[in-house]
Amino acid sequence: MNVSLILIILLVGAFATYIAGDKLASKVALFFGISALGCSIVLLNHFNMGENISFLCQWINQPNVSFALKADGLAIAMLLLTTALTPIIIYTSFGTEYKNSKAFYSLILFMSFAMVGTFLAADGILYYIFWELSLIPIYFIALIWGNGDAEERKKAVVKFFIYTLAGSLFMLIAFIYLYQQAGSFLIEDLYKLNLSATEQLWIFLAFFLAYAIKIPIIPFHTWQANVYQKAPAVGTMLLSGIMLKMGLYSIIRWQLPIAPLAAKEYMYIFISLGVAGVIYGSIVALRQKDLKKLLAYSSLAHVGLIAAGTYTLTIDGLRGAVLQMIAHGFVVVGLFFISEIIFRRYETRTIAEMGGIRTQSPKFASMFLLLVLASVALPTTFNFVGEFTVLYSLSQINVWFAFLGGTTIILGAYYMLKMYQQVMLGETNTKVFADVNFKEGFALVLIIGVLFFFGMYPKPITDLITPSLEEILTQINRIN
């Protein structure tokens, strides 16, 4: 059994969904999404039994590009995140009618395909291809099925596309440069390179540009809030739940081990950027009028912390970052789904137009609250495990980093509770708010369940990712 199977399932799924036609599309997509999840669980099993599920074959001879998929613990963790979130995201869309839904769901699966590919690729060019490929579907999803004024949306989406593409093209140059040195794009060969400090710095920066825009790290985040706001709920979930993680994952997988000297040399700067993102994102989130924008900035804050964690170059930082990535993926999908549920009933995302919902829909209120709590990293939620580990790693670098990064638990609580209060509490709203139906509830319960289960028992994931992170760490600490 090898890991390329999952890519095939998703790709076939994308085509099958398109062929299935508008009526069946959502169900077919869900079916393939779940089978991809099943497949990845089977893969996990095989991996845990010590089988080699990686895949390698020559693709292009000149330049030497291979179709190499590497499934170590880290990749499998991200694979699981993607394949678990994809069906959930598809499932959340069941309450909304999308026109031309065959194309819509097909694009979702295609995006999932590209993202899985990004996580698994072990060849620079293959990785880059998947990385870019994932941009196309989200571009169309946001463009065609997005909301708000069409002109505004167009602007935001095109800016997003060009901006992210701009960043990643420099990464391509970096890869090609590395290829000149190594004669291969394979990640192992790139790890082995003996680069001078200057070379490493430039390569590090080229990678950083790509990742900083994708993640996003301030000040490269300007595309984010607008796109999150304009994209349809599903698009936002894909973007924030999984796609952001591509950048963070790539830092760990590619940037740090390839240019460790630069990472060490300029560690403080990059951690500071991440931490600045935490504070800035949190503060900006405070006064947002649009629910999705608020969540976007909260996401900015959270990923800032994760990025800071990765740049600590400690096992705790990396592990915490990965845990937090997964946790954040789930919680942010849940929160965007919440905003979608409200939108389905009130046709608005403006916070000021909400309020007084809790009395009408206790179940919804509870689930929302649980997600808010997870988002502010209350202990026993998965987010706490990640955030704690990351903050701990920051404290190992400098306690002040931990302190500044830790302001997220104060500011995060502030804006999330403020938002919760404005959206949910207060006098009963005059507009009727039907409580969550079974479909919505089921999706939310799944997400909450995952968050709390791994919050209490993160060991399976920790055990899964730790060996590969340690391996990466030895690469980072190799002596050139």
Smallest gap from residue 268 Cβ to other proteins (A): 18
Residues in 436-465 that interact with other proteins by CB under 8 A: 456-459, 462
Residue 329, both tokens: 């993926």
22 binds other proteins (CB under 8 A): no
Residues in 232-251 that interact with other proteins by CB under 8 A: none
User: Would you say 464 and 394 are in contact if contact means Cβ atoms under 8 Å apart?
Assistant: no
Nearest by Cα to 126 from 207, 60, 82, 200: 60
Distance CA 211, CA 193 (A): 21
Question: x/- binding map, residues 267-296, to other proteins, per CB under 8 A?
Answer: -------------x--xxxxxx--------
CB contact set of 249 (below 8 Å; sequence gap of 6+): 74, 78, 118, 119, 322, 325
Residues in 292-321 that interact with other proteins by CB under 8 A: 314-316, 319
Smallest gap from residue 42 Cβ to other proteins (A): 26
**Of the residues 2, 27, 41, 159, which one makes contact with other proteins according to CB under 8 A:** 159
Other Cβ atoms less than 10 A from the Cβ of 100: the count is: 12
Amino acid at 311: Y
Distance CA 243, CA 131 (A): 9
Q: How many residues belong to the chain?
A: 480
Beta bridge partners of 58: 66
**Of the residues 75, 108, 303, 391, which one makes contact with other proteins according to CB under 8 A:** 391
Smallest gap from residue 179 Cβ to other proteins (A): 6
434 binds other proteins (CB under 8 A): no
Distance CA 321, CA 387 (A): 8
Q: Rounded to an integer, what is the distance from CA 424 to the centroid of its chain?
A: 27
**Of the residues 402, 436, 450, 451, which one makes contact with other proteins according to CB under 8 A:** 402
Q: Which is nearer to other proteins, 34 or 315 (CB)?
A: 315
User: Would you say 446 and 452 are in contact if contact means Cβ atoms under 8 Å apart?
Assistant: no
Smallest gap from residue 151 Cβ to other proteins (A): 8
Smallest gap from residue 173 Cβ to other proteins (A): 6
Report how far apart, in Å, the C-alpha atoms of 229 and of each of 160, 170, 184, 201, 234 are: 12, 28, 41, 35, 12
User: Would you say 414 and 286 are in contact if contact means Cβ atoms under 8 Å apart?
Assistant: yes
Smallest gap from residue 72 Cβ to other proteins (A): 18
Q: Which is nearer to other proteins, 87 or 281 (CB)?
A: 281
Site stretch for other proteins (CB under 8 A), options 37-45, 236-244, 262-270, 357-365: 357-365
Residues in 126-155 that interact with other proteins by CB under 8 A: 128-129, 132-133, 135-136, 140, 143-144, 150, 153-155
356 binds other proteins (CB under 8 A): yes
Q: Which is nearer to other proteins, 30 or 404 (CB)?
A: 404
**Of the residues 407, 445, 446, 471, which one makes contact with other proteins according to CB under 8 A:** 407
Distance CA 208, CA 271 (A): 12
Smallest gap from residue 370 Cβ to other proteins (A): 10
CA atoms within 13 A on the CB side of 326: 32
User: Would you say 334 and 448 are in contact if contact means Cβ atoms under 8 Å apart?
Assistant: yes
223 binds other proteins (CB under 8 A): yes
373 binds other proteins (CB under 8 A): yes
Amino acid at 40: S
Residues in 31-90 that interact with other proteins by CB under 8 A: 59-63
**Of the residues 111, 225, 227, 322, which one makes contact with other proteins according to CB under 8 A:** 225
Smallest gap from residue 38 Cβ to other proteins (A): 26
Residue 191, both tokens: 């790890």
Residues in 161-190 that interact with other proteins by CB under 8 A: 161-163, 165-166, 169-170, 172-173, 176-177, 179-180
Distance CA 191, CA 212 (A): 22
The angle at the Cα of 461, spanning 456 to 467, to the nearest 5 degrees, equals 135
Per rule CB under 8 A, count of chain residues that contact other proteins: 92
Distance CA 93, CA 87 (A): 10
427 binds other proteins (CB under 8 A): yes
Residue 298, both tokens: 């909260």
Smallest gap from residue 400 Cβ to other proteins (A): 10
CB-based burial label for 233 (10 Å; 0-12, 13-18, 19+): buried
Smallest gap from residue 90 Cβ to other proteins (A): 22
Site stretch for other proteins (CB under 8 A), options 29-37, 189-197, 227-235, 372-380: 372-380
Site stretch for other proteins (CB under 8 A), options 38-46, 256-264, 332-340, 384-392: 384-392
Question: x/- binding map, residues 91-120, to other proteins, per CB under 8 A?
Answer: ------------x-----------------
Smallest gap from residue 34 Cβ to other proteins (A): 26
Residues in 460-479 that interact with other proteins by CB under 8 A: 462, 466
Name the region of 195 (left: φ>0; alpha: ψ -120 to 50; beta: rest): beta
Cis peptide before 87, with omega less than 30 degrees from 0?
no
